Amino acid sequence: MTFLYHRFRHLLIPVLLTVMAITLSQVYQANLNIWTDIISSLPYWLLIITAFIALQFNRSRLAFLSVLFMGYYALYQNNLFTLSLNMFSDKPVVIAGALVISLFATVKDRGILSSHGIMRLFLISMCLGFGFLWFWLLNRYDQQISLLLTTGLKPQYQLLIPMIICSAIVSFNAIRHTNLVNSAIFISLAIWIMHYYQPQWLPLSYLLSILAIVYLITILVDSYFLAYRDELTGLPSRRALFNLSLSLGRKYSVAMLDIDHFKKFNDTYGHDVGDQVLKLVASKLLNVSGGGKVFRYGGEEFTIIFPRKDTHYVIPHLDAVRQAIQDYNIVLRDEKRKTQTKAKRKTNSTKKYKAVKVTISIGTAERLAGHSFTQTLKKADEALYKAKKKGRNQVCS
């Protein structure tokens, strides 16, 4: 259960919060009617702000979607769809919108003022064109389709088929690549479908305001993690460490950890294996008991903070995690295996791979009266040097 939560939390939490926001808006809609004029113009302001902030943080997909939703809302508010689509149903627009959202679920964030931006605009126009082309083809070849399917393609299935395909693409991408931006795109499609099938449940102004807030929170939280999280290990970075130090009380302990002979390990097995070792050590350090908070300090160095604890308390917990890393066998697999076919992998499945071990040295220190965090960190670093000098793979204070 814990694994599933950590694997899908970036999808489940935004979706649950969005459902709560939509539900509360629907429940208290009568109370919000006095703000109708303000709420009707709110999507414009929120989506403009969202597009601007998204561009500042290089989230071009959300910037594009914000502008497109704002354009759709302007047309919808002024009844221009009724005027321009009086010979068609609104189904082509619904399909075109779903296709555009699916498009941004499958591409990466790229600069707008570049060849990528031009290509995005071209693909958006293709999606818009396909929405109308789909129904034109169904009407044009209705007799041939009827001969193939006996009863013809029922009107509800004409829309349902492309919507199911788009939903499958967006859902698969959100599950396979769980991050906040993909979750926001998943929510975009859900709101788009809801707006079409249940328009009476909540006005479009409410839905787009909620969606814009989802985008804003996504950009800000995602940018926070980008600034305060180490990309390789997923641990909080040194910046997060010093940010935490501002809120520590008078009593705490600091542990500095270093992977023994890591440079030699890198030179022997390559940087790719070295990166795997760093991630492995990080995952083991996360299991440290005693209330320790783990950070990647830099390179092969890590830091653990124990708020309100002294060194006598933390040493057994540090020694336990040191022992867990020492006892773990790292199996080195052939890097070519990633590019091999399944048949080739099966042929080589009986091949024995080399197993290696890594160890860590740990130095710890507790804060003394009148000492700053930097001074305590320096004492822990000195204790780490002592552990290395005494033979490595041990805890010193």
Tell me the pLDDT band of 144, cut-offs 50, 70 and 90: low
pTM: 0.73
Rounded to an integer, the average pLDDT of 237-257 is: 90
All residues at 6 or more sequence positions from 145 whose CB lies less than 8 Å from its CB, including other chains: 138, 152, 153
Share of the chain above pLDDT 90, in %: 41
Convert 208-240 to b/e letters by CB count within 10 Å (16 or more is b). Answer: bbbbbbbbbebbeebbebeebbbeebebbbeeb
CA gap 367, 379 in Å, rounded? 9
- CA 60 – CA 153 distance, rounded (Å): 38
Q: Check whether 127 has a pLDDT greater than 70.
A: yes
pLDDT, tens only, 181-232? 999 999 999 999 999 888 888 899 999 999 999 999 999 988 888 888 888 8
Averaged over 234-258, what is the pLDDT?
90
Mean pLDDT of 241-268: 88
- Mean pLDDT (the chain) is 84
DSSP state of 91: H
Q: Provide the annotated active-site residues.
A: 300
Distance CA 107, CA 332 (A): 33
pLDDT in tens, 95-109: 999 999 999 999 988
Query: What type of residue is 30?
Result: A
Confidence of residue 350 (pLDDT cuts 50, 70, 90): very low
Q: How far apart are CA 235 and CA 281, in angstroms?
A: 11
Residue 152 has pLDDT above 80, yes or no: no
User: Do 363 and 397 touch, CB atoms closer than 8 A?
Assistant: yes
The residue among 287, 265, 289, 261 whose CA lies nearest residue 276 is 265
- Confidence band (pLDDT; 50, 70, 90) for 153? low
Which pLDDT does position 379 carry in this prediction?
A: 93
34 vs 396: CA distance, rounded Å:
66
Amino acid 88: pLDDT: 47
